[in-house]
Chain A
């Protein structure tokens, strides 16, 4: 095990990259209209009121039957929420709004081409479209409650229509991001056991009509190779009666939805009353083993959670025009474009294209035209918009009261541009942390009650109690500056129910690491392991750490050390490998590999060449190491970790630092002698490093 000293040093080194920022407070105008402006809400969702506090979220929905048990923990960690309750998600997102808001826009769809009209779909129209398509699914496709259907759909209104039609019948939908290949879609079809694929012929991206149906053919081949056959492909057309794909329609298998729908015009189907714990949808995440994970989300728990967080964290009121500029192919889109806003009866905006086409003012023109007052997007998009059009927002007359940033840490300077330029200094910013598995936000600020802090997502959200554990399960104290694994101590209604078809993997991935007692039925013994690193400040705000691995920046390309090392280990003779950066005047940094050999092998140029070849093949020529050093042994801690900063110091002719924690300090001198002698012989003369470069080398390997 690592010593305390080692652990503190490495964690402090991570934390030191983060400077605490000042608080920003919401404008009085925002507080005055906020859904959550009474601090009593914090008390209502305190731990002593858990799990009953979540009744407040569930009460935002219309239930056919109320639940008898709020949280059933009898089979941990397969938590069941609102047991005994029955409801229908489609009814909650559509039907129940008809009485008061029949003619209100449910969805405003902005096509990518500005020459095309914005489409407004009222709640009444949505109701009709959802019903007609649901009848088609039932009668034409023979689908029934519990069946799975895969969508491979772009950002068109037909996607939420399809989702809500499935939900109406209790069919489990599984949307695959439209940008993904047909092969990826095929893998998800096979895993979910879908017999029906719903797709689109084409859609616009960057001003061009992209052929999308062609991917369906690829998906079907892949699914077949994995032992699963699609019976029907339903093809929505971007322009009804005009086919926008070069892929031939297969007779008896492929059908244009607009043609088949004619038989179901004006037909209505009653929403199926579903048990709260019935699955609503699957959302696949990539798996490094190659097999994707189908995160299964429930009907009652999930819908309650996204309705509650949409109301209190997104501050959505029925009269708001809300735009989450994400893709419905991700969980963000499911939760905060479709289910959350529609459950609250708001108007949700969808955009087909990329926000920088035809220019970087496009997003702001949409906001101005549609009167968007709540805006939601990811830091990557914010950075892109800032890079391409830093002064664009001020050209347009829109006014946001609220802006969200989602999914990854946002740098304080980017946060400030978002606040000052995009938000025009008028809007609150809600920074959020959560994951596909979580259904909705886990860390954020209640916008009227908790001040904003750039770079921090905030504390745990209502009813969610995060904690940071070190590798041994000890709690890392707030304000210690130390990082650790962020976990959630309690279940919450939005959490995934399981990994579809892989319950053992579900337990292993999310609960095994910190489970205190596998036999316990007490939720307190089953912290949820999120897999992200975080630091908790004294004020209880969390900063999520984006770095997951050491990275070597070669000529602007960020190369992960783990990938370099994994590639080296594909050479049969190699026992261990470590990648380090070496300062280079031309390319900024270059890679040097240190490898040790398995017993029975002797160092040779042939082995070095094999390592280089393996890296070029696995990663690319850009990653070609400048040198491969075959060493007898690596410098290691007593727990067996390779001390990369030591060999990085040797390669850069700098001080390798403190060696007292090494279990085999004697190897350092022999490596130094071998490496530096050979470098000098080759004419690789050391240059004096700047203090910043020296610090970088010293800190190298800190994530281990």
Chain B
């Protein structure tokens, strides 16, 4: 197996960590905060091939957060979370972590 394109790996891992940090800030639920924190740690340490999985998990968590906010009528929280969700998706597609189709 070949190694990753190392320089881009670091850039992508860094951006993913940054987006997770933003997500963490707008998380209300303690369990989700912990899960995001764990994912962030992984993004900063694991190999390139694991980043796609971390990105997928991050997106799933962000979706959960949006649903939670909707359920309690927190429109401000929902808007912010949705915006990060969009950013995650767009970055993930551009970085090849998600497929566009």
Which residues of A approach B to under 8 Å, CB–CB?
177-181, 183-184, 205-206, 210, 285-288, 290, 292, 326-327, 329-332, 378-381, 383-384, 387-388, 406-409, 434-437, 485, 530-533, 544-549, 551, 553, 556-560, 562-563, 588, 619-623, 703-704
A533 partner residues in chain B, CB cutoff 8 A: 2
B18 A179 Cβ-Cβ under 8 A: yes
Select which of A286, A383, A560 is within 8 A of B94 by beta carbon: A383
B50 A548 Cβ-Cβ under 8 A: no
A437 partner residues in chain B, CB cutoff 8 A: 6
Q: Complex formed: what's the CA distance from A210 to B22 in Å?
A: 9
B13 partner residues in chain A, CB cutoff 8 A: 286
Q: Specify the chain B residue showing the minimal Cβ separation from A619.
A: B53
A378 B8 Cβ-Cβ under 8 A: yes
B7 A548 Cβ-Cβ under 8 A: no
B22 partner residues in chain A, CB cutoff 8 A: 205, 210
Q: Specify the chain B residue showing the minimal Cβ separation from A564.
A: B53
A184 B44 Cβ-Cβ under 8 A: yes
B-side interface residues, number (CB < 8 Å): 48
Take A290-B45, A388-B90, A556-B98 as given contacts and tell me if A485 and B8 are in contact as well, using a CB distance cutoff of 8 Å. Answer: no
Interface string of B49-89 (1 = CB under 8 A from A): 11011011101100000000000000000000001000100
Q: Complex formed: what's the CA distance from A530 to B46 in Å?
A: 18
Take A180-B44, A549-B49, A558-B52 as given contacts and tell me if A384 and B91 are in contact as well, using a CB distance cutoff of 8 Å. Answer: yes
User: Does residue B12 face the partner (Cβ distance < 8 Å to A)?
Assistant: yes
Q: Please give 8 more A-B residue pairs, beta carbons under 8 A apart, in addition to A330-B10, A557-B52.
A: A180-B44, A181-B41, A387-B93, A407-B7, A437-B6, A551-B49, A560-B49, A620-B57
A436 partner residues in chain B, CB cutoff 8 A: 6-7, 10
Counting from the closest, the 5 A-B pairs by CB-CB distance are A179-B18, A531-B3, A533-B2, A557-B56, A620-B57
A622 B57 Cβ-Cβ under 8 A: yes
Q: Complex formed: what's the CA distance from A563 to B1 in Å?
A: 13
A330 B7 Cβ-Cβ under 8 A: yes
Name A's interface SS: mixed
B50 A560 Cβ-Cβ under 8 A: yes
User: Does residue B101 face the partner (Cβ distance < 8 Å to A)?
Assistant: yes
B97 partner residues in chain A, CB cutoff 8 A: 558
Q: Specify the chain B residue showing the minimal Cβ separation from A357.
A: B87
B5 partner residues in chain A, CB cutoff 8 A: 407-409, 435, 532, 544, 546, 548
Q: Complex formed: what's the CA distance from A546 to B12 in Å?
A: 13
A327 B14 Cβ-Cβ under 8 A: yes
Select which of B3, B40, B96 is within 8 A of A181 by beta carbon: B40
A558 B99 Cβ-Cβ under 8 A: yes
Q: Complex formed: what's the CA distance from A434 to B15 in Å?
A: 20
A620 B1 Cβ-Cβ under 8 A: no
A183 B7 Cβ-Cβ under 8 A: no
A378 partner residues in chain B, CB cutoff 8 A: 8, 11
Q: Complex formed: what's the CA distance from A288 to B9 in Å?
A: 12
B14 A330 Cβ-Cβ under 8 A: yes
The CB with the most chain A CB atoms within 10 A, among B40, B49, B96, is that of B49
Take A179-B17, A181-B41, A387-B93 as given contacts and tell me if A559 and B56 are in contact as well, using a CB distance cutoff of 8 Å. Answer: yes
Q: Complex formed: what's the CA distance from A433 to B3 in Å?
A: 14
B52 partner residues in chain A, CB cutoff 8 A: 551, 557-560
A380 B17 Cβ-Cβ under 8 A: no
A563 partner residues in chain B, CB cutoff 8 A: 49-50, 53
Q: Complex formed: what's the CA distance from A198 to B22 in Å?
A: 22
Q: Complex formed: what's the CA distance from A435 to B3 in Å?
A: 12
B47 partner residues in chain A, CB cutoff 8 A: 286, 288
Q: Complex formed: what's the CA distance from A384 to B98 in Å?
A: 13
Q: Would you give the shortest CB distance from A478 to chain B, in whole angstroms?
A: 19
Q: Specify the chain B residue showing the minimal Cβ separation from A179.
A: B18
Q: Specify the chain B residue showing the minimal Cβ separation from A181.
A: B40
Select which of A285, A547, A548, A621 is within 8 A of B10 by beta carbon: A285
A384 B90 Cβ-Cβ under 8 A: yes
B87 partner residues in chain A, CB cutoff 8 A: 206
A210 partner residues in chain B, CB cutoff 8 A: 22
A619 partner residues in chain B, CB cutoff 8 A: 53, 57
Q: Would you give the shortest CB distance from A549 to chain B, in whole angstroms?
A: 4
A622 B60 Cβ-Cβ under 8 A: yes
Q: Would you give the shortest CB distance from B65 to chain A, in whole angstroms?
A: 15
Select which of B7, B18, B60, B90 is within 8 A of A387 by beta carbon: B90
- Which residues of chain B in 11-52 are interfacial with respect to chain A, using CB atoms and an 8 Å cutoff? 11-15, 17-18, 21-22, 40-41, 44-50, 52
Q: Specify the chain A residue showing the minimal Cβ separation from B97.
A: A558
Q: Would you give the shortest CB distance from A552 to chain B, in whole angstroms?
A: 10
Q: Complex formed: what's the CA distance from A177 to B18 in Å?
A: 9
A380 B11 Cβ-Cβ under 8 A: yes
Q: Could you show 12 A-B contacts with beta carbons less than 8 Å apart?
A: A286-B9, A286-B46, A288-B45, A292-B45, A380-B8, A380-B94, A387-B94, A548-B4, A548-B48, A557-B55, A559-B56, A588-B101
